[in-house]
Structure 1
Amino acid sequence: MENTQNNESWYSIAGIWFGCIASLPALLIGSTLISSMSLFEAIIVAVLGYSFVLVFLSLLSIKAVQFRFNAVELAQRSFGETGAKVIVGLIIGVASMVWFGVQTNIAGVSFSKVMEEAFNVHFSVEASSLLWGIIMVLTAVFGFKYVKWLNYIAVPCILILIIYSLIVTLEGVSFDQILQYVPQQKMSLIKGMGIVVGLIAVGGVISPDYNRFAKTPKTAVVGSVVGMLPAAVAFLTIGAILAIIKGTHDIVDIFAQIGYPIMAMSILILVTWTSNVMSAYSGGLGLNSTFHLSEKYRPHTTLAVGLIGTLLGVIGILDKFVQVAVVLSAMIPPIAGVIIADYYFGKTTENKTNMSFGWIGIISWLAGVSIVFLFESDVKNILGIVVSGFFYSILSLLFKKRTLSYKA
């Protein structure tokens, strides 16, 4: 069992979320949006998209601190005890494995590329992914305390390296050139906001896993906002600026072009490390719930998530990133809509349930997932959360919980 007290300060929570946001996908989304937006438009999209996620993240975190529940435990009241463990726990566990694999594969590609170009040493992507996957998962196995300390060490390093790389890249480039950049294509702000929400919504849903340790609900909210929003906007902006200057949207290639291979490798490894340990940790908690294991087995399930994720990285899960991201962005965010509707608009004040399957919650979640899969709307990721919450509220009014629940 983790020796973690429920008295974490706001800056401790902020450090965790900065470590989560300080990732290659955060840079990648900036370099992607800039292909169809001006820099100012991309920044506006970042502020709006991340603010939306912070709203539902904060609502979940308040209840997580109040009851000291992780994400799966928080979902039990609306999905049922077994329903939450099987549906929510398994989805979070599998999603974490896949995300761990993607990040590990990125680290492996980066490490191999730099070793080849800087030192003329051939180090296969498979071997590199395996090496860094093992290093990353061992950090997560030891629990929240070590995740926190990793971020204390890594966050300042990431900031220094990113700022320095930006300074090097901006040499000989006027800021007017960047501001006058005009994309060849155009994307609406709403569509861009939907992309941002889809990327980080998973982090919002698993936020109770970390924020439950905060001293107070206010501490959790302040720490999340301070740790996430400035970092998210900054990393998106940096990714966009680097893409404008270097003329490519491939983040690994962008850093390879900077000309300082050790610095580039350090950035790429650190940003994947800090966010990957969160994936393994949350995945371990999810599988713990799915298989009805006690807290003492959390290190074992975390190790399993990391090792399976590492194997996915070794076999090249990065090549399937887009397809995987589409599925995960459809299935996970609607969970938040159901939980929020239950705790804030439901009438019950109990924090426990005696039902195995809460069909109101499950049906509402499926409604939200269907919206994301079936509609081509630019804001389908946002609609998934809203629709699942709306369905839950309406069904709760139409039916008593015991009517649509089943006790095994």
Structure 2
Amino acid sequence: MSDSNENVKWFSLASIWFGGMVSVPSLLIGSTLIAALSFQFTLLAGLIGFGFVVLFMSFLSIASVEKRKNTVSLASSSFGTLGANIIVGLVIGISTLGWFGIQSNIAGASFSKIILEMSGTDIPVWLSSAFWGLVMIVTAVFGFKYLKWLNYIAVPALTVLLIYGLMVTFQAHSFDEVLNFRPTQPMPLFQAIGFTIGFVAVGGVISPDYNRFAATKKDAVLGSIIGIIPSAICLLAVGAIFAITQNTYDIVEIFSSLGYPFFAMSTLILATWTTNVVNIYSSGLAFTNLIGFKESSRSKVTLVVGLVGIGLAIIGILTYFMGFITILTIAITPIAGVMIADYFLSKTYSDNPQKLNWKGIVSWLSGVVLMLVMTSDIKNILGIVVAAICYVLLQKIVK
């Protein structure tokens, strides 16, 4: 890596994270949470959850700038080279594959809705999901270099649609209606916080892949804070407002009811298309590295992994959205705990890691098991803490 690559300023990093946040899943978080929380508590859950992820993301970013290393290379000290490849690779591969299934499902449902409203033809959602999933896989395999042109259209189109949607919404509804909304089946706040943590946890753990190029540690931290928190909170709020005023928590129904359904649903498909190509590309790359194949095999692996993702879309993974996010929270956050403990707390980081570091693997598992067996909703925050403490203790006790 040349020095010229290591001078990225905070606003450039912020724009990368901002682009990742302006997406349909960010709205989906808001519309999902508002089903069980008031508007004020939805925002509070988002602020605490996103802030928590940005906090551990900042620690990882500082380490990545100091060492100029990506996530897997940094994790190799605490998990061992093989352990980091397997654990981090599997988590990234499976999580991005799950997101691919969810977004293919959204695109499919939107497409079926467009066709039904325009022609009266009722195409099954599973068939539309399979079709759009295939289009996205082909784009990832053969047309990834053209993705930026799709992004140039999708991000502004989605932004315009959301602004228009808010204008239409507040012509017919008052903001008091939003503030006075009360759900019929409330959710504990800590459970909601865990949900928001899970949404951005993958980005938090893989942040060294991007933030290692920051000019300074301050640039890396500032870019993360400014790029994620404001945009994530705003989109969560918009998703919640639409869900309250349109009287549905179904993101496809919400977009359909905003007026100009063809434009709205087309934008929804385009926005999911751009983010989903990145999902399946990242998943294919993660599994290629995990299996130990050469870079030349990435296209074939992406195709196979993508077909699995289409299978998830066909069975309707969108209906298991909350369960999927919960799994992400449980599996991902303890990884950050172990890496932070290794670098900052026990100060045992090594540039020449062993092949397998059982202390890191056991510590990660301790955080995962705690979050699986503990019934209190505070477990969503404790997992990362327990993994870190366990690693520090093991380093002190076992030499």
Fold conserved between structures, TM > 0.5:
yes
Q: What does residue 110 of structure 1 align with?
A: 110
What is the Cα deviation at residue 214 of structure 1? 4.0
Alignment partners' CA distance in 2, 1:281 and 1:150: 15
Q: What does residue 336 of structure 1 align with?
A: 336
Q: What does residue 262 of structure 2 align with?
A: 262
Alignment partners' CA distance in 1, 2:363 and 2:62: 22
What is the Cα deviation at residue 81 of structure 1? 1.1
What is the Cα deviation at residue 391 of structure 1? 0.8
Q: What does residue 49 of structure 1 align with?
A: 49
Alignment partners' CA distance in 2, 1:217 and 1:306: 36
Q: What does residue 283 of structure 1 align with?
A: 283
The question of 1:366 aligning with 2:365 is answered yes
CA contact (8 A) 2:194 2:329 kept: no
Alignment partners' CA distance in 2, 1:374 and 1:363: 16
Alignment partners' CA distance in 1, 2:331 and 2:381: 12
Shift in alpha-carbon separation, 1:10–1:297, aligned structure 2, 3 A: farther
The question of 1:272 aligning with 2:272 is answered yes
Shift in alpha-carbon separation, 1:5–1:297, aligned structure 2, 3 A: farther
Letter matched to residue 163 of structure 2? I
Alignment partners' CA distance in 1, 2:58 and 2:149: 23
CA contact (8 A) 2:195 2:326 kept: no
What is the Cα deviation at residue 167 of structure 1? 1.4
CA contact (8 A) 2:154 2:267 kept: no
Deviates further, 197-206 or 213-222: 213-222
SS of alignment partner, residue 249 of structure 2:
coil
Alignment partners' CA distance in 1, 2:167 and 2:6: 40
Alignment partners' CA distance in 1, 2:274 and 2:205: 18
Shift in alpha-carbon separation, 1:346–1:241, aligned structure 2, 3 A: same
Q: What does residue 393 of structure 2 align with?
A: 394
Shift in alpha-carbon separation, 1:351–1:151, aligned structure 2, 3 A: farther
Letter matched to residue 102 of structure 1? I
SS of alignment partner, residue 44 of structure 1:
helix
Alignment partners' CA distance in 2, 1:147 and 1:216: 29
CA contact (8 A) 1:19 1:271 kept: no
Alignment partners' CA distance in 1, 2:122 and 2:86: 43
CA contact (8 A) 2:195 2:329 kept: no
Alignment partners' CA distance in 1, 2:76 and 2:220: 21
What is the Cα deviation at residue 64 of structure 1? 2.9
SS of alignment partner, residue 388 of structure 1:
helix
Shift in alpha-carbon separation, 1:167–1:330, aligned structure 2, 3 A: same
Letter matched to residue 389 of structure 1? A
SS of alignment partner, residue 376 of structure 1:
coil
CA contact (8 A) 1:8 1:213 kept: yes
Alignment partners' CA distance in 2, 1:132 and 1:211: 32
CA contact (8 A) 2:252 2:265 kept: no
Q: Deviations over 1:181-237 (max 9, x none)?
A: 233344443332222112221221222333344444433333322221111111111
Matched residue count:
396
What is the Cα deviation at residue 342 of structure 1? 1.0
Q: Deviations over 1:219-267 (max 9, x none)?
A: 3333322221111111111111112112222222122222321232134
Shift in alpha-carbon separation, 1:74–1:296, aligned structure 2, 3 A: farther
For residues 138-153 of structure 1, the aligned pairs below 5 Å read 138-141=138-141, 151-153=151-153
Alignment partners' CA distance in 1, 2:65 and 2:223: 13
For residues 31-180 of structure 1, the aligned pairs below 5 Å read 31-141=31-141, 151-180=151-180
Deviates further, 304-313 or 90-99: 304-313
What is the Cα deviation at residue 77 of structure 1? 1.0
Q: What does residue 406 of structure 1 align with?
A: none
Letter matched to residue 69 of structure 1? K
What is the Cα deviation at residue 162 of structure 1? 1.1
What is the Cα deviation at residue 44 of structure 1? 2.0
Shift in alpha-carbon separation, 1:249–1:208, aligned structure 2, 3 A: same
CA RMSD of aligned residues (A): 2.8
Alignment partners' CA distance in 1, 2:12 and 2:144: 11
Q: Gapped runs of 5+ residues in structure 1? A: 401-408
CA contact (8 A) 1:143 1:299 kept: no
What is the Cα deviation at residue 392 of structure 1? 0.8
Q: Gapped runs of 5+ residues in structure 2? A: none
What is the Cα deviation at residue 287 of structure 1? 1.8
Alignment partners' CA distance in 1, 2:382 and 2:257: 39
Aligned identity (percent) is 50
Alignment partners' CA distance in 1, 2:143 and 2:24: 23
Shift in alpha-carbon separation, 1:182–1:51, aligned structure 2, 3 A: same
Q: What does residue 240 of structure 1 align with?
A: 240
Deviates further, 220-229 or 210-219: 210-219
What is the Cα deviation at residue 121 of structure 1? 4.3
What is the Cα deviation at residue 52 of structure 1? 0.7
CA contact (8 A) 2:190 2:380 kept: no
SS of alignment partner, residue 258 of structure 1:
coil
Alignment partners' CA distance in 2, 1:123 and 1:38: 36
TM-score by length of 2: 0.88
Shift in alpha-carbon separation, 1:192–1:314, aligned structure 2, 3 A: closer
What is the Cα deviation at residue 9 of structure 1? 4.7
CA contact (8 A) 1:201 1:329 kept: yes
Q: Deviations over 1:40-83 (max 9, x none)?
A: 22222211111111111122223334434332222111111111
